[in-house]
Amino acid sequence: MLFESRLLSERMRNGFCFLHQTHSIIMHGIGLGFRRNIADETIQLSGITPDFLEIAPENWMGMGGYWKKKLHEAADKYPITAHGLSLSIGSPDPLNIEFIQRVKAFLNSFDIALYSEHLSYSQSGNAHLYDLLPIPFREDAVKHIVERIKVVQDILERPLILENVSYYTPVAAEMSEAEFIRSIVEESKCQLLLDVNNVYVNAFNHSYNAKAFINALPLEKVAYIHMAGHEKVSDDLIIDTHGQPIIDPVYELFEWTVGQLHPVPVLLERDFNLPKMIELQKELSQLREITAKNWRSNVA
């Protein structure tokens, strides 16, 4: 088990609520990505601290020595969630079963219940891309992905939590993006990672209504939220950089969104251009204040 009862009761006193069952942590709170260049600061942080840390398994699996020790130090202090980078669930290529089994062993070794990935693909043939490519919103793609999700979930013995991604090129669509996501979630029984900043970025770049899009999603299946910053590079283009502070309109969309949902963990996703820790702590506080005020269960 990840926590001793002392730590469990301490966290419950602090308002961080979770129930611990085998591979089924129900938790909420505000988390921070665990990055190597802020690893020591994160582990030693006092005052305003995240409720959990998110790691990319690919960056830590098989790591020995110094970085393995740092990950254990982090896991001793914080609950951990995992957000994968290279599952490539939408790829036309066969799933990499050996990779998925290694991910499972890693998740089990740190008792990580929440494993999320991207509803996109990054691999085709010999090409391994750093970008997340959009999947055509088509019925045959839904079928293909649903079958693959079931295989992944069977191996992992956990629900897969899939994230709505930002995209910049039009895709061959037979249905709306929201219908596409809904079909996949309903047919595969996977869960949804709602990235509110990605919704904002896509709504701006593709001229649709962000709230209408969120309302069309299977909100009862949202298990996790990402919040991040972006960069507006021209009058009609925003790039999802994760390298800037969250802007007010994204906070406003987040505030409205949490009013539609029951509490789930929220992750401050800052990957690049990392500021001083005090700036990240301010963002954690702002997210915490919004959720404390607006979770649906608080007003029901």
Q: Which of residues 59-98 bind Fe ion (CB under 5 A)?
A: none
Distance CA(233)–CA(239), nearest Å, equals: 7
**Least Cβ distance, residue 135 to Fe ion (angstroms):** 16
227 Cβ contact partners less than 8 Å away, ≥ 6 residues apart: 195, 196, 197, 246, 250, 254, 266, 267, 268, 269, 287
Among residues 219, 277, 249, the alpha carbon closest in space to that of 33 is found at 277
Segment near Fe ion (CB under 5 A); pick from 54-62, 133-141, 225-233, 244-252: 225-233
Which of 175, 221, 223, 230 lies closest to 198, judged by CA? Answer: 230
* Least distance (Å) between residue 198 CB and Fe ion: 6
Minimum CB distance to Fe ion, residue 163 (Å): 5
Q: Does 117 bind Fe ion (CB under 5 A)?
A: no
CA distance 137 to 210: 18
Give whichever of 70 and 114 is closer to Fe ion, judged by the CB atom. 114
- Which CB, 70 or 195, lies closer to Fe ion? 195
Q: Binding residues for Fe ion, how many (CB under 5 A)? A: 2
Q: Which is nearer to Fe ion, 162 or 290 (CB)?
A: 162
- Virtual torsion, Cα 203, 209, 213, 219, nearest 10 deg: 110
Report the amino acid identity of residue 26: I
Per CB under 5 A, contacts with Fe ion among 138-197 are 195
Residue 177 vs 195, nearer CB to Fe ion: 195
Nearer to Fe ion, 70 or 226 (CB): 226
54 in contact with Fe ion (CB under 5 A): no
Report how far residue 120's alpha carbon sits from residue 179's, in angstroms, rounded to the nearest whole number: 15
Joined together, the tokens standing for residue 178 give 């929201």
Q: Which residue is nearest to Fe ion (CB)?
A: 226
- Give the C-alpha distances (Å, rounded to integers) separating 238 from 10, 108, 168, 202: 41, 38, 9, 8
Of residues 64, 159, 60, the one with CA closest to residue 102: 60
Q: Does 242 bind Fe ion (CB under 5 A)?
A: no
Q: Pick from 221, 226, 230, 270: which binds Fe ion (CB under 5 A)?
A: 226
In the bound state with Fe ion, the residue whose beta carbon lies nearer, of 188 and 241, is 241
Does residue 283 interact with Fe ion by CB under 5 A? Answer: no
Query: What is the binding site for Fe ion (CB under 5 A)?
Result: 195, 226
